[in-house]
Amino acid sequence: MRNIKITIEYDGKEFNGWQKQLNRLNIQGEIEKAIQTITGEKIELIGSGRTDAGVHAFAQVANFKINSNFPIEKMATAINSQLKQSIRIKKAEEVSENFHSRYHCHKKTYMYIIDNSEQGTAIYRNLTYHISQPLNIENMQKAVKYIIGEHDFSSFKSSGTSSKSSIRIIYDAKVLKEQERVIIIITGNGILYNMVRIIAGTLVDVGLNNIEPEEMEKIIKSKDRQKAGKTLPPQGLFLKSVEYEN
Amino acid sequence: MRNIKITIEYDGKEFNGWQKQLNRLNIQGEIEKAIQTITGEKIELIGSGRTDAGVHAFAQVANFKINSNFPIEKMATAINSQLKQSIRIKKAEEVSENFHSRYHCHKKTYMYIIDNSEQGTAIYRNLTYHISQPLNIENMQKAVKYIIGEHDFSSFKSSGTSSKSSIRIIYDAKVLKEQERVIIIITGNGILYNMVRIIAGTLVDVGLNNIEPEEMEKIIKSKDRQKAGKTLPPQGLFLKSVEYEN
């Protein structure tokens, strides 16, 4: 069977998350239906991981097995012709039969965008989270460094997570200021449920000078969700890229 | 009477344009109602100019006269509290009584954003116009230079325009490439009805190698709307700034 890898952009606002579920619009289900329409085959789409309702993706990765000899170079355009504009297949590639978008995922990068203007933004209101009080960027930049490395991130995961281990490696983590935006970018070998949104919420506490940057280390070590900040809302969160080893 | 100048961001997709009209959601009317709610006074909001249905603004400027002694530093926040998120008052300032946002407007800058990726964009679909064929940016950059200066822009205005003269001064005009986006930025002392969208459409003809960059000069001189390209759709157009002499 052929194994097809697709790279997908989507506007999370329009869906109840990635995962297939009955009677609720979801990204996985919409793409599976579109592929069935163009190839006539019922396929199972394997995503690199789920994203929650409201979370966006610039480049989610998924794969599916298929018998159809539909030409690969026409596949992205054909699938898109069956989808709403709020999902776009950016690329479709033929990969080796053993490629698995979840098991073989090597690194994931997420981005959280805060609009830090006084009055908020009309144009990007569904693509940012608004905080009107000025954030102390320098302190946020100090604090975010503590999450780099291998840690047990129990303090930054929502209860009800199915993952067995809470240990993850964070390769890079930074806070950037671009005009009125504060952008948090985190790259890791895996991300726990709600982890980026809780880290972002904790960094906001630092930015508002409610806690010192050095607190971040203690919060990690406590392994206590209660010590960390609140879970920020989904509309500021973007899955930026998913990387695989060649 | 006090004269208040406001700077406004809006998502054009949500409205039938700037101008007040019965039974159709419009930006001018929504802001007038919000101001009446917070001050108790019925005011007339004077915009620097209209924008069409679907056109966005980062910084539209308008002014209104009022007797209320509502504190200026709380005015933007108060008006916003009465508005949908798709309109944000970014700033409110007290100005001299003779300031008029339309008559005294000195320069306006518009931006047109084309998404030139092969498969289009999900996230920015309402904030860009998609063209999948690769555009020849170098030729577009040559062509756009011809519009700089004082010209009769009859070739680039929609029929039914009320303006008496079609002569405008363009101070700056450029085409930028940022990742998969092609951005056209035009600054002038005034902009005719649909002028930026028609110029953008003509530049796309250049970018697709349908016409040579040098044709731009002939199209301007012809003063014939039929010689220019099509009017591109509104969702790619942004009023970027409105400037006044101090």
Cα B201 to chain centroid, rounded: 16
Q: Which of A113-127, A186-200, B154-168 has the lowest mean pLDDT?
A: B154-168
Give every CB contact of residue B159 below 8 A, 6+ residues apart in sequence.
B225
Q: Is the pLDDT of residue B227 over 90?
A: yes
Give the residue from A162, A163, A219 showing the smallest Cα distance to A189.
Answer: A163
Q: Which residues of B are catalytic?
A: 52
Q: Do B58 and A117 touch (CB under 8 A)?
A: no
A19 in contact with chain B, both atoms CB, cutoff 8 A? no
Contact B122 A77 (CB under 8 A): no
What would you measure as the largest C-alpha separation in chain A, in angstroms? 59
Cross-chain Cβ contact A86/B122 below 8 Å: yes
How confident is the model at residue B111, as a pLDDT? 98
Q: What was the pLDDT predicted at A162?
A: 67
- Where does the pLDDT of residue A43 fall: very low under 50, low under 70, confident under 90, or very high at 90 and above? very high
Dist CA A6 CA A92 (whole Å):
4
CB B169 within 8 A of CB B189: yes
Provide, as residue numbers in chain A, all residues whose Cβ is less than 8 Å from the Cβ of B125: 11, 85-86
- Nearest Cα residue to A50 out of A190, A151, A149, A164: A190
Give chain A positions within 8 Å (CB) of B115.
Answer: none
> B161 pLDDT exceeds 80?
no
- Which of the residues B123, B132, B133, B239 would you substitute to probe the A interface, choosing the one with the greatest number of A C-beta atoms within 10 Å? B123
Q: For residue B30, what pLDDT is reported? A: 98
Measure in Å the smallest separation between the Cα of B27 and chain A Cα atoms.
12
Residue A73 has what pLDDT? 98
Chain B contact present for A74, CB below 8 A: no
Nearest residue to B36 (alpha-carbon basis) of B7, B6, B3, B78: B78
**Nearest CA distance, A86 vs chain B (angstrom):** 4
Cβ B87–A122 below 8 Å, yes or no?
yes
Task: Decide if pLDDT at B164 tops 90.
Answer: no
Q: Which domains does chain A have, with CATH numbers?
A: 2-95 (3.30.70.580), 106-244 (3.30.70.660)
User: Alpha-carbon distance B216 to B203, whole Å?
Assistant: 8
| Each residue's pLDDT tens digit, B180-209 | 999 999 999 999 989 999 999 999 999 999
Dist. CA A232–CA B38, nearest whole Å: 31
Continuous segment of H or E residues that includes residue A74? helix A72-81
Instruction: Tell whether B121 lies on the interface with A, counting CB pairs under 8 A.
Output: yes
**What whole-number percentage of chain B has pLDDT above 90?**
95
Output the six-digit token pair for B133: 């064929």
List all residues of chain A from 129 to 188 with a beta carbon under 8 Å from chain B. Answer: none
How does residue B159 score in pLDDT terms, banded at 50, 70 and 90? confident
Contacts of A190 (CB under 8 A, 6+ apart): A105, A108, A168, A169
How many CA atoms, within 13 angstroms, populate the side-chain half-sphere of residue A147? 33
d(CA A151, CA A225): 14
The structure's pTM equals: 0.95
Of B10, B91, B117, the CB nearest to A122: B10
pLDDT at B162 over 80: no
Convert the pLDDT of each residue in A158-199 to its tens digit. 876 667 899 999 999 999 999 999 999 999 999 998 999 999
Average pLDDT, chain B: 96
CB nearest A9 (choices: B80, B89, B122): B122
Question: Which is it for strands B167-178 and B149-152: parallel, antiparallel or unpaired?
Answer: antiparallel
Do B119 and A86 count as a contact with CB atoms less than 8 A apart?
no
Nearest-neighbour CA in chain B from A91: distance (Å): 8
Q: At residue A67, what is the residue type?
A: N
What is the pairing mode between strands A129-130 and A105-115?
Answer: parallel
Q: Going along chain A, which residue ranges are E strands?
A: 2-10, 46-47, 56-66, 87-95, 105-115, 129-130, 149-152, 167-178, 181-188, 237-244
Residues of A carrying an active site annotation: 52
Secondary structure class of B184 (helix, strand, coil): strand
Residue B246 has a pLDDT of 72
Distance from CA of B67 to the nearest CA of A (A): 24
**Dihedrals φ, ψ of A210, to 5°?**
-80, -30
- Cα three-residue angle B85-A116-A135, rounded to 5 degrees: 150
Give A13→chain B minimum CA distance, Å. 9
Predicted confidence (pLDDT) per residue in B66-78, tens digit:
999 999 999 999 9
Q: Quick one: average pLDDT of A226-243?
A: 97
CB atoms within 10 A of CB A185: 18
ipTM (interface predicted TM): 0.95
Concatenate the DSSP letters of all residues of A155-218 into one string: GGS-TT---S--EEEEEEEEEEEETTEEEEEEEES---TTHHHHHHHHHHHHHTTSS-TTHHHH
Buried (b) or exposed (e) across A120-130, using 16+ Cβ within 10 A? bbbbbbbbbbb
Q: What is the mean pLDDT of residues B31-39?
A: 97
For residue A225, what pLDDT is reported?
95
Contact B142, B213 (CB under 8 A): yes
Contact status of B226 with chain A (Cβ, < 8 Å) = no
User: What count of residues does chain B have?
Assistant: 246
pLDDT (tens digit, 9 = 90+) per residue, B124-144?
Answer: 999 999 999 999 999 999 999
Whether the pLDDT of residue A233 is over 70: the answer is yes
Look up residue A191 and give its two tokens.
């991300």
